[in-house]
Amino acid sequence: MRFLKSVLVSVLSAGLVLFSAGVHVATAAESKDPIKIVINNWSSQLVLANVVGQILESQGYNVEYVPSDSQLQFTAIANGDMHYQVEVWEGSMAENFEKAEMTGGLVDAGTHNAVTREDWWYPSYMNERCPGLPDWKALNKCAEMFSVAETAPKGRFVGPPADWGKHFSERIAALGMDFEEIPVGQAATLWSELQAAYDRKEPVVLFNWTPNYIEAKFDGQFVDFPEYAKACHEDKSWGMNPNALYDCGAAKKGWLKKAIWKGVKDKWPKAWKILHNVDFNNAQIAAAASYVDVEGLNEKEAAQEWVKSNKSVWSKWVN
């Protein structure tokens, strides 16, 4: 113990002696507290969060990146524990996002140009084996091809984690499909199923979304279900099954929003504006993600690359 103490004391004193005056010049006259930007565990979000962070830093703000779960983050933003989320997905996050918005702590910071889609997806090699795809009726005819021992003779649909609120089992029932949903516990499990099936060229149909890194790595398409309408989730009589909800596909052009803590407005007024102005389109998001997924940079370097090559885009946000 005494040894450790003396190590600590000598280290600290040595450290204090070794000051060198490299004073950081700040331009903003607002709070020096760090703006906490949420990072999640998929690459486009990580890079975009770092892009936003680096833009803010270039304007003299201090930034901190806080990792978070994609659902818990909204409570945290509403509480002011975190301040900004650059990717809010309609399909999987709308519910918790709107819940947090109701409390007043979280504010909708506008919609990106980018659109999102979250639905059933299959690799392209299935087009030959199951003619008629991507139509869902054709898929249903091939159901047995997709079966595994525990679902046979029904086809297996590898679904998202049960808490993502997607109602796929209800859709299967409403459309009378010969499929069974097997939910996974996390996205990585979905991708392992896909990777393994893809390597072995096995039939597989699973949950996927766009934009994400999967498009860059695997060739495939979304299944076309009956067109989405809001009424489909609220009115049983809507759609081809008059007695059931969810007899339709997911929105083909879902929104992608930003979420911000209401306190940012008073604490960092200029950043509040910048963060509202942030706006990515699909191509920019895909490019940002591919720095990480294809070129193997880490998210920090990827963001640097993006910021360097898209100056004309983001300079409009800061002015």
Partner 1 sequence: MVTDTQNPPIEENRFFSPQVRFVLTTVAIILVAVWLSRQFNELIRWPQEWVIPVKDWVTAYFYWLSHDLDFGLFKFRDITRGFSWLLSWPLYWSEVFLYRGWSGLGTLLPIPWPAALIGVGLIGHCIAGWRLSLFCMACTLYLVVFGLWEDAMRTFSLVAVAVPFSASIGLMLGVASTRNAKAESVLKVIFDFMQATPHMAYLGPIVIFFGFGQVPAMMAMVIFSMPIMARCTILGLRTVPASVIEAATMSGCTQRQLLWKVQIPAAQNTLMVGLNQVIMQTLAMAVIASLVGASGLGQKLLFSLQQLRIGTATEQGIAIVFLAIVLDRISQAAANRPPGRRVPHLFWQRHIHVILFAIAFVVFVALAQVSPALSVFPKSLTLTFGPGIDEGVKWFSLHFYPYVKPVRDWVTVAILLNVRLFYLVLPWIVTLSVLGYLSWRLGGWRLFVMNLALSSFVLLSGFWKPAMMTLYIVNIAVIISACIGISVGIWSAHNPRVAKIALTICDTLQTFPSFIYLIPVVMIFKVGDLSNIVAILAFATVPSIRYTYLGLSNIAPNTLDAATVSGCTRWQKLRKVELPIAMPEIMLGVNQTVLMSLFMTTITALIGSRDLGQEILKALPGADTGRGLLAGLSIAFIGIITDRLIHAWAKKRKASMGMSDD
Give the binding site for partner 1 (CB under 8 A): 3, 6-7, 10-11, 14-15, 17-24, 41-43, 46, 65-73, 75-76, 79, 81-82, 96, 148-150, 158, 161-163, 182-189, 191-193, 195-196, 199-200, 213, 292-293
Minimum CB distance to partner 1 smaller for 16 or for 29: 16
User: How near is the Cβ of 231 to partner 1 at its closest, in Å?
Assistant: 27
- The torsion of the CA quartet 217, 208, 230, 114, rounded to 10 degrees, works out to -30
User: How near is the Cβ of 218 to partner 1 at its closest, in Å?
Assistant: 11
Minimum CB distance to partner 1 smaller for 206 or for 245: 206
User: How near is the Cβ of 66 to partner 1 at its closest, in Å?
Assistant: 5
Minimum CB distance to partner 1 smaller for 21 or for 29: 21
Is residue 71 within 8 Å of residue 42, measured between CB atoms?
Answer: no
User: How near is the Cβ of 285 to partner 1 at its closest, in Å?
Assistant: 16
Listing DSSP states for 53-102 in one string gives HHHHHHTT--EEEEE--TTTHHHHHHHTSS-EEEEEEHHHHHHHHHHHHH
Minimum CB distance to partner 1 smaller for 152 or for 231: 152
Q: How far is CA 128 from the centre of its chain?
A: 31
Rounded distance, CA 240 to CA 39, Å? 41
Matching residue, tokens 């800061």? 318
3-state class (DSSP) for residue 136: helix
3-state class (DSSP) for residue 122: strand
Provide the 10 A C-beta neighbour count for residue 299: 23
Minimum CB distance to partner 1 smaller for 138 or for 148: 148
User: How near is the Cβ of 276 to partner 1 at its closest, in Å?
Assistant: 23
